[in-house]
């Protein structure tokens, strides 16, 4: 299981005073054999002003004045992007220091992604291009394994564990965190899932997985591939609490 530690004093968690707390080797864990490795994935909104400034502005203008101020960026594992031409005069901004987080995995393995939404206000739709997910844990409680789906709907403070099978060719794929609804928030968060060739080679992988892609034909692009756009057959996971 895992949870989020965070400050309860004032607005400190909005300014970044939070993190993961993962409990390992839990003897009561139900899904210990359902995955080979695990990765952490944190999503949150981020502004260039302090939380105190944002709350004071919100209190002053009220809901009728447009609600809580929008974020400047969406971060995935503490990294995001921002157009420096939009910065305020007294701010320091460098495009060279920006860029997406990179999550490295190995083709053919099963990964448990512990996903946390630690934003101040934003709901996110989280997805991994060309990969599907199955929920095995919600807010620290093991659940029955869900059916496979494309997009995880996650509200602030919520935590999910999902299993993702790396059954796609080696390469780079976008991890996306899109605000819901997108029109009232800032730009989406983007990270890169890098699927690396299995060190044992493709012949050994066929023994583990019946359907696999030959690594010797795979082209690993510098930039992530464009995944299929959500359409009529896209499945979104909502918990009953939502």
Q: Say what the pLDDT of residue 238 is.
A: 66
User: Of the ranges 2-16, 42-56, 68-82, 166-180, which one carries the lowest mean pLDDT score?
Assistant: 2-16
Residue 85's pLDDT band, with cuts at 50, 70 and 90, is confident
Q: Say what the pLDDT of residue 145 is.
A: 82
- Give dist(CA 94, CA 92) in Å, integer: 7
- Average pLDDT, rounded, for the chain: 75
Comparison of pLDDT for 43 and 223, the residue scoring more: 43
Q: Residue 80 pLDDT > 50, yes or no?
A: yes
- For 92-149, write each residue's pLDDT tens digit: 777 776 778 899 999 999 999 999 998 878 889 999 999 999 999 888 888 888 889 9
Q: Say what the pLDDT of residue 183 is.
A: 63
Q: Residue 223 pLDDT > 60, yes or no?
A: no
Q: Say what the pLDDT of residue 64 is.
A: 60
Q: Say what the pLDDT of residue 233 is.
A: 61
Q: Say what the pLDDT of residue 167 is.
A: 93
Comparison of pLDDT for 149 and 69, the residue scoring more: 149
- Give dist(CA 81, CA 190) in Å, integer: 9
Mean pLDDT of 27-40: 83
Q: Residue 214 pLDDT > 60, yes or no?
A: no
User: Which residues in the chain belong to E strands, given as ranges?
Assistant: 2-6, 18-22, 37-46, 73-76, 102-106, 110-117, 124-128, 134-138, 141-142, 151-154, 159-165, 171-179, 189-196, 236-237
Q: Are the CB atoms for 119 and 80 separated by under 8 Å? A: no
Q: Say what the pLDDT of residue 69 is.
A: 65
User: Of the ranges 90-104, 198-212, 223-237, which one carries the lowest mean pLDDT score?
Assistant: 198-212
Q: Say what the pLDDT of residue 226 is.
A: 43
In the chain the domains, ranked by start, together with CATH numbers, are 2-237 (2.60.40.420)
Whole-number percent of the chain with pLDDT over 90:
27
Q: Which residue has the tokens 């057959």?
A: 233
- Give dist(CA 87, CA 84) in Å, integer: 5
């Amino acid at each position: 299981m895992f949870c989020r530690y965070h400050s309860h004093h004032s607005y400190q968690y909005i300014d970044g005073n939070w993190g993961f707390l993962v409990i390992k080797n839990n003897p009561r864990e139900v899904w210990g054999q359902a995955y080979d490795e695990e990765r952490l994935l944190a999503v949150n909104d981020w502004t260039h002003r302090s939380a105190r400034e944002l709350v004071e502005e919100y209190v002053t203008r009220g809901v009728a004045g447009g609600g809580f101020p929008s974020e400047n960026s969406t971060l995935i594992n503490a990294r995001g992007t921002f157009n420096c031409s939009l910065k305020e005069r007294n701010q320091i901004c460098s495009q060279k220091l920006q860029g997406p987080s990179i999550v490295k995995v190995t083709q053919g393995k099963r990964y448990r992604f512990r996903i946390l939404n630690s934003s101040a206000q934003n709901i996110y739709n989280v997805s991994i291009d060309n990969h599907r997910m199955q929920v095995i844990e919600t807010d620290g409680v093991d659940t029955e394994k869900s059916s496979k789906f494309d997009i995880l709907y996650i509200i602030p403070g919520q935590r999910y564990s999902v299993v993702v099978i790396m059954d796609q060719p080696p390469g780079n794929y976008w991890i996306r965190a899109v605000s819901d609804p997108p029109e009232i928030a800032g730009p989406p968060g983007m990270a890169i899932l890098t699927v690396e060739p299995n060190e044992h080679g493709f012949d050994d992988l066929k023994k583990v997985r019946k359907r696999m892609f030959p690594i010797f034909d795979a082209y690993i692009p510098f930039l992530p591939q464009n995944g299929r756009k959500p359409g009529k057959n896209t499945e979104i996971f909502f918990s009953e609490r939502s």
